[in-house]
Structure 1
Amino acid sequence: MNNDLLCFTPNNTHVTRQNLNIPGICLQQLTIPIEVRNFYSPKNVSGVILCVSNCSTNSDSFINCNKGQCSVTQQGPKCYCVSSDQFWYSGDRCQVSISKPGVYGGVAAGLAVLLIIILTLAIILCRRRRQASEKLIDKENRWYEDGWEADGKGERSVDTESGASNFYPVLENVNTDVKMTVPRPSPYFGPRSVPTAMWESST
């Protein structure tokens, strides 16, 4: 008998059927990282068993991330939102879109309104200070301009705001050339202050 020849005898050949463990097949896939294998499950796609996650469109629990990208992490499938030239995307499924021009325009409008309010308040404050200063100057000018009347009695005015009356002398009617002399006071001796000898001689 030649050992180099393979003899096949149909009557002596037995075929045994091996059951395939489909639920755990993805746990044995070496191409899938071990830390995320639990998030993959077998799926029959056109007669081919594939290991798919919820990020795959072939999965029955497909996660639609809209404008984002689905990725399998150690915590499970997760949507990562991206941004474009016109929009920002947010939300757990990237379903919320925020317009960039709208945000920029809103911020600019808010700053413009704030600037207008600040300028308006500054103008009002300056006007109030100017009015207060003008009132103070006007009161000072009245003291020098209104003055006394010609008869020497002077002029009296009433402030309508405070209700106080003011007297303004007219300095122009005062003759500065007149010399004022004050008589020298003479001593006065009353009856009790005069000596007794002088009192008796006078009597």
Structure 2
Amino acid sequence: MVNVGQPFVPEYNNTSSDKYKKFVSNFKSKMEPYYKEKVPNFNSMEIRKLSEGKTKRRRSLALTKVSRSSTVIVHHDVMVDISNDNNFNSSYYTSFKEVKSALDALKGTDDIIDVDAFETELNVTEVCDAVTAILPEEYRKYYAPSILPGKVMCVSQCHQGHPHPKMCFNNATCEVSFDGPSCYCLNTDVSWYLGEDCSYKVNKIGFYAGTGVVALILVITIAVLTAYVVINKRKVSRSKDIKRKLVNKWLEDDVEWPTQRNTLHSVSRGPHDNPTFSQENSYRRDSSEIYRPNLSEDQTDSQYSIPETDIQPYNFQRDVRIDRPQIRSSSEI
């Protein structure tokens, strides 16, 4: 800021007026050579506005009269070139001191009433806009300024210094296109990647081999289980058929049980057994059959006469029938 000892006119508020343009042209033609001489890294200067300064009083001794007039304050920016390296902060402060020293040397000369200099905060957005000005608009939106250690950079989303970086894994490369940042995976002919960021790497050969082994195990397991189920089902069916046939035969047939050999009426064979009534030579007789001894004619004496009686042989073989056994299930028992 420089306070020039010239009267301020209303036309200076209009940047399109001739008086404004003429004043600015004269001021720049005077100050630019001076800055180039005093400031080594000077690049250019830019007038921001003209404002009205403090009133200047003048007293006339002859007329004892006071006249009042305002001055012109020129607000302008001084641009300097600073190398973007690890020492850019120190370079900036050095240039600022050089500009302030040059302004202080102008105070009190050529109607310059007052001067002052102010530090400007670093606007990294403007730096990035200036760097990406040569790029198409579709690409510029993927770039952002970043202050790295001692350095200002304009980086894309593929850079880790970006506020919202694009992460890529498994040594994949990141590139910015019209659609935004994308990850390009490596060795796609032998590997698959399940994520867009090239994460979850899957080897094709290992996948095919594992899938084949698993499929073979499943097939063998299914075949064994199927054979076991079929064989077991046949065994169960065969067992059921056999049991069913036995039960049906048992239920359909009229079972006859033979008589026991030794009963209350049985006679054991001994030395006096009559072979006629033995079990081997047993027979049945009709109830009308009468046993009559055969006597010879010379035995007609009365002492040998045997009264006639009906002697029926004892039948040692008789059919014994029992009730049919009742079948009960294991649960009923």
Structure number with higher strand proportion: 2
| TM-score after normalising by structure 2 | 0.32
Q: Which structure exhibits the higher relative contact order, with contacts defined as CA atoms closer than 8 Å and separated by 6 or more residues?
A: 2
Which structure: larger Rg? 2
